[in-house]
Amino acid sequence: MFRFTLVAFLLVLGTACSGDEPVVSKREKLAGRVASLVVDGWRRDVEAATQNVIESNLPKAMQKRLESSEGEFKNSFDWKQVETYVADEYLAKFDNVELEEIHAFYSSTTGGKFLAEQTDLKNEVLRRVALAKLELPLILRTKSNVSNVVDGATGPLKRLLEDAIQSPPISPEHLVGTWYTDDMDEQGNGYRGWHKKSPSGANTLHGVQINHASKEFMSFSDEGVWVLQGKLLAETNFNYAEESQLIVIESVTADELKYRFVELNAEPSEWPLIVDTKKEITLPEKPTGYKDPFE
């Protein structure tokens, strides 16, 4: 909300009046330097907000018009005039000592990093706030999905799922963090990716699937939730809320997670064992000439 309010505010600004540069005091120069540092962060906010709009789900015709005018839009603000207005506000609200302290902080390595990170920090916090409103209903939906699968299962599958749920529970804290999967063969075919589980129940995943024989490259990214019952882990993504992926955990340590995906159309003995680790891996880039079969 702040970014768009800022954009709306800046749109009403005109260009600066021309004329001789006035003589300014040391205090005014200090306020101007502080304003310059602050407004530079605002400029990044506006550019990020513009890019977010362009990348949002808009009709293609509108998206093309925005892309064609992106440069003109970003350059339409008179940032020097904005700095003048901000400097006036700082002069009215802070004395010389306070201005010195603010400038010293913003000019430091830490202060510079603080300003540079504000856009990403605000975007991430607002994204998490929005997702948090969706996570609780999705967690409840996940539990319902698990119940439906267990109730509908029969024979060995039903016993296996019930035994997993009733097993001594795994501490959720053991699953929190980023886990990496490397299921590629020596030729570089297969899946490689990571999934990150947060204490709130949020789950983020990203990975790639490559088939060199068919020259196919698929990239996967999604967000959702995870629910643990005994040794049965259920994951549901926002894009596929009607179904949950069930996972039976074999074991988990600080650095290794062993599990099997529940495949309802296969015997449990045929479920492959997957081993994830905390060792960070690099995801391959899309090779030249490869296609995504889903695009």
Q: What is the pLDDT of residues 204-217, one digit of tens each?
A: 999 999 999 999 99
Q: Which of 10, 81, 90 is nearest to 42 (CA)?
A: 10
- Which contiguous run of DSSP H or E holds residue 164? helix 155-166
Task: Give the closest residue to 263 by CA, choosing from 255, 271, 274.
Answer: 271
Is 99 a residue whose pLDDT tops 50?
A: yes
Which pLDDT belongs to residue 281?
A: 93
Mean pLDDT of 178-186: 94
Measured in degrees and rounded to the nearest 5, phi and psi for residue 286 equal: -70, 120
Q: What is the pLDDT of residue 157?
A: 93
Query: Helix, strand, coil % (nearest 5) of the chain?
Result: 50, 20, 30
Q: What is the mean pLDDT of the chain?
A: 82
Alpha carbon distance 218, 210 (integer Å): 7
Q: What is the phi/psi pair of residue 291, to 5°?
A: -125, 150
pLDDT digits (tens, 9 = 90+) for 241-273: 889 999 999 999 999 999 999 999 888 889 999
What the block records as the tokens of 182 is 């490397």
CA–CA separation, 100 and 250 (whole Å): 59
Across 38-52, 150-164, 231-245, least confident range = 38-52
Task: For residue 67, give Cα distances in angstroms to 11, 44, 205.
Answer: 18, 17, 29
Query: How far apart are alpha carbons 34 and 100 in whole angstroms?
Result: 9
Domain ranges in the chain are 23-117
Residue 13 has pLDDT above 70, yes or no: no
d(CA 165, CA 169): 8
Q: Check residues 59 and 46 and name the one with the higher pLDDT.
A: 46
Distance CA 262, CA 119 (A): 41
pLDDT band at 121 (very low <50, low <70, confident <90, very high): confident
211, 116 Cβ separation under 8 angstroms: no
127 versus 113: the higher-pLDDT residue is 113
Residues near 234 by Cβ (< 8 Å), separated by ≥ 6?
142, 143, 145, 146, 226, 227, 228, 244, 245, 246, 247
What share of the chain in percent tops pLDDT 70?
Answer: 77
Q: What global pTM score does this model have? A: 0.59
Is the CA virtual torsion 216, 217, 222, 225 positive or negative? positive
Helix H or strand E encompassing 27: helix 26-55
The predicted pLDDT at position 61 comes to 52
pLDDT > 90? residue 200:
no
**89 in Cβ contact with 9 (< 8 Å):** no
